[in-house]
């Protein structure tokens, strides 16, 4: 009996110690994080008893704001998103939900500015006054171009899930438009009725009710095989590292045998079985898969992987939204290709191991346009307080320099050739626009000359020599064996026309 009592006593002491430790853990170690947790009702009550800063477009349209809540509400203020622009900007602005927080978009990234905070004292007078302020965030993206980009996608790719377009300024990294289908309306997610929020959340996450995952931006949160648009990266590796390969004349062939691919060995065939060859410029203009596959083998895995890494593959692009919402574009490491020469050859033409976001490929085009410098992309232009005083302005900064100015000039010439007489010629860009571009058609079903499904790309910049815009458009999972020029070309052409016309307007 005494033994049992002793055991019970020891057990009770251990329970007391565990309770003591947990109480200290909650009241001391985790006190600050729990007190500031967005799911804490008291935090919500404090936040919504004060107004929250607004988010504005580049042309001054209020995209997100705080308004007085309806009479009888437990909160004083409610977050609302402009009805006209809410779906246009949802995947950039994000939302500030009572139940689900604000872990997406600008609402999350600049939360410390948007929520009430104490402005630092600069004078003795400041110590005597209330310095609690909220700041307003202005984006680099205007409603006009954003609407035009959405219209171009809706016109030429109606109902295409994952269809995405990114327009950026290659000199500054400023994102000027970024839109993808499907999108969503954030207003139900900021309702004071938690049942309404829950219904909207579960609906947007349900692949049957909301196919295409609208809460994940197709522009920077999803990746697809870039196909031949990746040949810009492969060509960069040649020009930067293997000048001997740049001087070669490649055979005119329609296919190439893949070594170590079994018995009988597999072949990689040019798209639609066409034969092409010649110097490096001709290979880019004609987009010769077989010869580029051999170039990948000659470059070797390490050189090609290093070049992809230099452009931003295999790492998180520093876009100013929460990093965990930015998809990593992948190429793979040299070790991934150690015993896989066929995989390396296919990856050299933007397939097999390679995936990229529309943002990543717009940055590839922008790097060439900017003389080899890859600028850090951003959606924030400036932040001002509620009195209009400037708090912060974005200062453009380079992220990486994957290629030299000489290589960029050479690539520009090659990409101009793609437009004039190569795979992008059918798009019909006006000569006066002076466009440089590269098409991409990635096979996503069976791999062969006539695939059942393709991801279709076009990346471009214009006008050459005075470039203010770089574009990437992707249409995933297209039925049939069309090309990036056929599917994405008309969208890029329409967007470029809108941008250049706007720039020409005094």
What is the token pair recorded at 492?
């890029």
Q: How far is Cα 118 from Cα 133, in angstroms, rounded to an integer?
A: 6
How would you class 9 by CB atoms within 10 Å of its CB: exposed for 0-12, middle for 13-18, buried for 19 or more? exposed
CB 87 within 8 A of CB 184: yes
**DSSP classification of residue 497:** H
Beta strands in 451-495 (DSSP E): 453-462, 469-479
Other C-beta atoms closer than 10 Å to the C-beta of 328 total 16
Of 102, 119, 45, the C-alpha closest to 76 is 45
User: DSSP assignment of 404-452, as one string?
Assistant: -HHHHHHHHHHHHHHHHHSTTGGG---GGG--EEEEEEEE-SS-SSS-S
Other C-beta atoms closer than 10 Å to the C-beta of 77 total 17
CB 162 within 8 A of CB 222: yes
Q: Is 278 left (phi over 0), alpha (psi -120 to 50) or beta?
A: left
What is the token pair recorded at 246?
């740049």
Whether the bond into 448 is cis, omega within 30 of 0: no
Of 154, 155, 156, 153, the C-alpha closest to 166 is 153
Q: How far is Cα 363 from Cα 356, in angstroms, rounded to an integer?
A: 11
**DSSP classification of residue 28:** I
Of 276, 269, 285, the C-alpha closest to 346 is 269
CB 498 within 8 A of CB 433: no
pTM for the full predicted model = 0.88
CB 180 within 8 A of CB 217: yes
Q: List the pLDDT tens digit at each of the 506 positions of the chain.
A: 666 666 666 766 666 676 666 666 655 555 455 444 455 454 554 565 688 999 999 999 999 999 988 877 788 899 999 988 999 999 999 999 989 888 789 999 999 999 987 766 565 555 555 557 889 999 999 999 999 999 999 999 999 999 999 999 999 999 999 999 999 999 999 998 899 999 999 999 999 999 999 999 999 999 999 999 999 999 999 999 999 999 999 999 989 999 887 778 888 888 777 899 999 999 999 999 999 999 999 999 999 999 999 999 999 999 999 999 999 999 999 999 988 999 999 999 999 999 999 999 999 999 999 999 999 999 999 999 988 999 999 999 999 999 999 999 999 999 999 999 999 999 999 999 999 999 999 988 655 555 678 899 999 999 999 888 999 999 999 887 678 899 999 999 999 999 998 876 66
Residue linked to tokens 């974005």: 394
Distance, CA of 88 to chain centre: 16
Of 137, 157, 128, 171, the C-alpha closest to 54 is 137
Residue linked to tokens 């995952």: 213
Beta strands in 30-152 (DSSP E): 55-56, 62-68, 77-81, 117-118, 132-133, 135-139
């Amino acid at each position: 009996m005494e033994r049992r009592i002793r055991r019970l006593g020891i057990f009770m002491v251990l329970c007391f110690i565990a309770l003591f430790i947990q109480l200290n853990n909650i009241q001391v170690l985790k006190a600050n994080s729990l007190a500031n947790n967005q799911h804490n009702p008291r935090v919500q009550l404090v936040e919504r008893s004060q107004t929250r800063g607004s988010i504005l477009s580049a042309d001054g349209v209020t995209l997100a704001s705080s308004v007085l809540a309806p009479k009888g509400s437990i909160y004083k203020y409610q977050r609302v998103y402009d009805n006209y622009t809410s779906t246009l900007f949802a995947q950039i602005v994000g939302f500030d939900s009572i139940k689900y927080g604000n872990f997406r978009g600008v609402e999350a990234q600049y939360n410390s500015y948007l929520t009430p905070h104490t402005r630092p004292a600069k004078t003795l007078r400041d110590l005597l006054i209330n310095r609690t302020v909220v700041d307003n965030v202005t984006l680099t993206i205007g409603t006009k171009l954003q609407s035009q980009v959405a219209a171009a996608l809706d016109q030429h790719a109606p109902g295409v899930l994952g269809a995405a377009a990114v327009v950026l300024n290659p000199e500054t990294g400023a994102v000027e438009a970024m839109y993808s289908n499907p999108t969503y309306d954030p207003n139900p997610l900021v309702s004071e009725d938690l049942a309404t929020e829950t219904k909207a959340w579960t609906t947007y996450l349900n692949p049957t009710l909301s196919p295409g995952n609208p809460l994940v931006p197709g522009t920077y949160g999803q990746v697809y095989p870039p196909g031949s648009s990746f040949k810009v990266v492969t060509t960069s590796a040649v020009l930067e590292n293997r000048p001997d390969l740049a001087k070669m004349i490649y055979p005119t062939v329609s296919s190439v045998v893949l070594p170590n691919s079994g018995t009988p060995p597999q072949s990689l065939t040019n798209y639609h079985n066409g034969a092409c060859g010649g110097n490096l410029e001709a290979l880019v203009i004609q987009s010769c898969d077989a010869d580029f596959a051999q170039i990948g083998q000659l470059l070797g895995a390490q050189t090609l992987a290093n070049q992809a890494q230099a452009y931003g593959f295999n790492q998180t692009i520093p876009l100013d939204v929460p990093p965990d919402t930015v998809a990593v574009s992948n190429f793979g490491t040299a070790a991934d290709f150690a015993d896989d020469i066929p995989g390396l050859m296919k990856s050299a033409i933007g397939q097999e191991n390679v995936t990229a976001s529309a943002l990543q490929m717009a940055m590839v085009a922008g790097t060439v346009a900017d003389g080899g410098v890859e600028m850090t992309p951003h959606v924030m232009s400036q932040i001002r307080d509620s009195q209009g005083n400037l708090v912060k302005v974005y200062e453009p900064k380079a992220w990486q320099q994957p290629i030299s100015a000489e290589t960029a000039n050479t690539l520009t010439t090659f990409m101009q050739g793609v437009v004039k007489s190569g795979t992008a010629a059918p798009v019909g860009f006006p000569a006066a626009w002076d466009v440089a571009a590269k098409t991409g058609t990635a096979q996503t079903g069976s791999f062969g000359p006539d695939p059942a499904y393709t991801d279709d790309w076009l990346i471009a910049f214009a006008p050459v020599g005075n470039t203010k815009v770089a574009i990437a458009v992707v249409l995933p999972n297209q039925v049939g064996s069309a090309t990036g020029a056929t599917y994405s070309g008309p969208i890029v052409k329409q967007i470029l026309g809108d941008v250049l016309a706007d720039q020409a307007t005094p």
